[in-house]
Structures are given as structure tokens and as C-alpha cells.
């Protein structure tokens, strides 16, 4: 699969009695609906091993125009009855539509490490370049690493109000950018976190003081050609 140029990144917690519905809805209706949109390439769901929110969902598209296009927004503004019901189970929702500033590797890892930057921070081109050159390119060459990405929020598209947003039990937060590293297992990612993606290293590159690190195990994938 060619490297995607745009991501929708989503994080959610789920109320205690909402898990069975989440898995059935997401596996059988919602993700198939999303990847059927022309230009969508793959959807994936991860479950937290460390950090929060509990679920991380990643949708990949050919280009940012797909995520700002009429077919995607037609779905966002016409949620199914099952989607409306499922939205009531989500808490602490975070979502950004992102251009992919860097991506190395189209393989999927068994686990993903995410570094999520807060919504009020403006990500500069200089910071992007420092993260790519000093962290992501070297990390991508490490044994066991499947892929490394930097996704930066497209604020205009992210901020558009839709019926799905209005139906949420709690409002969205919009992270400004996310570093994503995928590897074959959590041990490799824990070592990367200890040795490379440290707070000190990120601050030295000009990172904001606030960011959230999460370690996620892969649960489910659906590709557009499945």
C-alpha cells in the first residue's frame, strides 16, 4: 500500500457498559462505511496499554482533499441510527484531520506509540523539520519498527461542525499534531520512548511543555480493498 498523505486521528474513552456495542458497531458498520468512501485507504483501531484516552483510531486517505471533500462530509452529516446511539457512549473525545508531514513505511505494527500535542499549540515548520530529522528518520531505521509518521492538524477542515460532532455526549478536543511510531511489539516502543522520545529530547527540539504519550496495541484493521 502506498503511503497515505492524510490522516484522521481519533481518541475516545468509552462508558463501562458500552464496549460490546463499540466493537460490533465499529467493526461491522462504522469502519466499513468510512473505508468505502473513495480515497480512503485504511482504518485501524488500537487499545491503550499505557496512557489515555483508551482507544486510538486512525483513518488513512490518499490526500487531504478527501478528508475535506463532499463524500466524507456527507457521511459526517448523515450519521446512521447506530452511529447516533454509539456516540452517546464516548467520553474525552479528541479528533483532528491531518496532513501527513512525514511518513516512512506503509507496514502496520502490532503496537503504536503516540505523542499528542495540545490543541492550542501552533506547530511550526521548523519544529516539524527538527522532529523529522532528529527523531522520525532515525527511529524508522531501528530494528522492529514498521512505520513512523508525523501528522499535523489542518485546522480549517478539523473545525467544521457536523451532525456527528453535535451528537457527541461530550465535545471534541482537537490535537495540533501527533507523532506515531509503529513497531512489531510494545517492548521496542518502550525502548524508543526511553531512549529517543523523551521529554528532554522533545523540549530540546522546541516542543511545547504539554504533550501526552500513549502506548497502544493494535486491535482491528480494515482496508479499502478488503
- 34 or 122, greater pLDDT: 34
Query: With a threshold of 0.85, does the pTM exceed it?
Result: yes
In a domain, 208, yes or no: yes
Distances (CA, A) of 35 to 57, 59, 74, 208: 13, 8, 14, 34
- The DSSP code for 69 is S
When pLDDT is cut at 50, 70 and 90, the band that residue 213 belongs to is very high
Q: Mean pLDDT across the chain, nearest whole number? A: 95
Let me know if residue 88 belongs to a domain: yes
Cα torsion for 104, 58, 48, 112, to the nearest 10°? -10
Q: What is the mean pLDDT of residues 58-80?
A: 97
10 Å CB burial of residue 35 (0-12, 13-18, 19+) is: buried
Dist CA 135 CA 117 (whole Å) = 16
Domain for residue 195, yes or no?
Answer: yes
Strands, E assignment, 118-160: 145-153
Q: Is residue 219 part of a domain?
A: yes
Domain membership flag for residue 1: no
CATH number of domain containing 206: 3.30.70.100
Is 201 inside any structural domain? yes
* pLDDT tens-digit readout, 148-185: 999 999 999 999 999 999 888 778 999 999 999 999 99
Alpha-carbon distance of 7 to 39, in angstroms, equals: 11
Amino acid at each position: 500500500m502506498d503511503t497515505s498523505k492524510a490522516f484522521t486521528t481519533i481518541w475516545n474513552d468509552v462508558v463501562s457498559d458500552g464496549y460490546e456495542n463499540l466493537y460490533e458497531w465499529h467493526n461491522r458498520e462504522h469502519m466499513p462505511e468510512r473505508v468505502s468512501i473513495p480515497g480512503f485507504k485504511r482504518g485501524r483501531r488500537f487499545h491503550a496499554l499505557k496512557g489515555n484516552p483508551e482507544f486510538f483510531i486512525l483513518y488513512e486517505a490518499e490526500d487531504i482533499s478527501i478528508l475535506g471533500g463532499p463524500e466524507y462530509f456527507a457521511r459526517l452529516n448523515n450519521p446512521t441510527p447506530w452511529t447516533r446511539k454509539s456516540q452517546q457512549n464516548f467520553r474525552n473525545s479528541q479528533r483532528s484531520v491531518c496532513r501527513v508531514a512525514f511518513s516512512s513505511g506503509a507496514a502496520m505494527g502490532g503496537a503504536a506509540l503516540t505523542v499528542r500535542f495540545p490543541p492550542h499549540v501552533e506547530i511550526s515548520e521548523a519544529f516539524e523539520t527538527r522532529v523529522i530529522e532528529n527523531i522520525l528518520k532515525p527511529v524508522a531505521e531501528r530494528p522492529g519498527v514498521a512505520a513512523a509518521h508525523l501528522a499535523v492538524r489542518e485546522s480549517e477542515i478539523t473545525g467544521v461542525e457536523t451532525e456527528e460532532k453535535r451528537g457527541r455526549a461530550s465535545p471534541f478536543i482537537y490535537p495540533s499534531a501527533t507523532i506515531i511510531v509503529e513497531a512489531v511489539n510494545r517492548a521496542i516502543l518502550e525502548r524508543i520512548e526511553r531512549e529517543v522520545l523523551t521529554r528532554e529530547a522533545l523540549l530540546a527540539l522546541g516542543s511545547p511543555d504539554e504533550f501526552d504519550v500513549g502506548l497502544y496495541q493494535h486491535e482491528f484493521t480494515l482496508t479499502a480493498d478488503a
